[in-house]
Amino acid sequence: MRQSRIKAKLARDEPVLITCLHFGDSALFEMTSLMGFDGIWVDMEHHGISLERVTSLMAAARVGSSDIVVRPAKGEYLRMGRMLEVGAHAIMYPQCDTAEEAAEVVHWCKFPPLGRRGCDAANADVPYLSMPIAEYTEQANQETVIIIQIETAAALENVEQIAAVEGVDVLMLGPADMSLQLGIPGEIQHPKIIEATERVANAAIQCGKHWGRPVGSPEEAQKYMDMKGRFICSGADIVTIKLAHEALQAQYAALGFTFDNRLK
């Protein structure tokens, strides 16, 4: 079984950097993984990508060294097992409100005796009938990374109890959704978000867990790393391409080229 790069680095208290890929292109996943990012974030909460397509993307990523971090939608417990079987290393569970909900995530992501995940042993995670069942299930329980997102006012209120749930590896603040919940939509540098970040960090540290959040710059990453944040998310292919296209248009506009930019 392939070891989790994220889990190994966190165990050494080293920072982890994951990046998000929106476009379902196998070559993009292969290239990003070959470049050695710690993880590739695949969002199945907000995007229409199918599990069948994700299976192909994960296969492409296995050429390199990146973990695949998949985000299901809230409450998709049975689907998480399928995500792990086709090759996900980590589950990023969104909008978790309570410790009981976090425990349910662990319950469905871990094999007995830690949970009740069903066993097939014939898919990419094993891989493909290559390990004895006892060895496979033990290693899967060790290597699977469970990331619980703190994105709601209820989650923030319960964050200390969520952090204490056995089997949770990382608490991840979701600043955008949290800003909506706190009545400050889009103001991710607002004092309320800073206060929420500090509370998530303290809860994780007190329970011996890791924590993190998305960042917009290396300077912001350093700020949270100084707060013992080790799970850092930055960048997305759609953002990178859009910024590059805007820069290209600006360069050529100086030569007299014009554009019918309907995003402005």
What value, to the nearest 5°, has the Cα angle with vertex 151 and ends 145 and 155? 90
Average pLDDT over the chain reads: 96
Cβ pair 6, 65 in contact under 8 A: no
pTM for the predicted model, two decimal places:
0.95
In DSSP notation, 3-61 reads: PPHHHHHHHTT--EEEEE--S--HHHHHHHHHTT-SEEEEETTTS---HHHHHHHHHHH
**Domain range list for the chain:** 5-236
Instruction: Please list the residues that pair with 232 across neighbouring strands.
Output: 17, 213
In this prediction, what percent of the chain has a pLDDT beyond 70? 100
CATH T-level fold of 5-236: TIM Barrel (3.20.20)
pLDDT for 155-183, tens place per residue?
999 999 999 999 999 999 999 999 999 99
Q: What is the mean pLDDT of residues 207-221?
A: 97
Q: What are phi and psi of 116, to 5 degrees?
A: -135, 30
pLDDT over 90 (residue 1): no
pLDDT at 48 (0 to 100):
87
pLDDT given for residue 179 in this prediction = 96
DSSP secondary structure string for all residues of 156-207: HHTHHHHHTSTT--EEEE-HHHHHHHTT-TT-TTSHHHHHHHHHHHHHHHHT
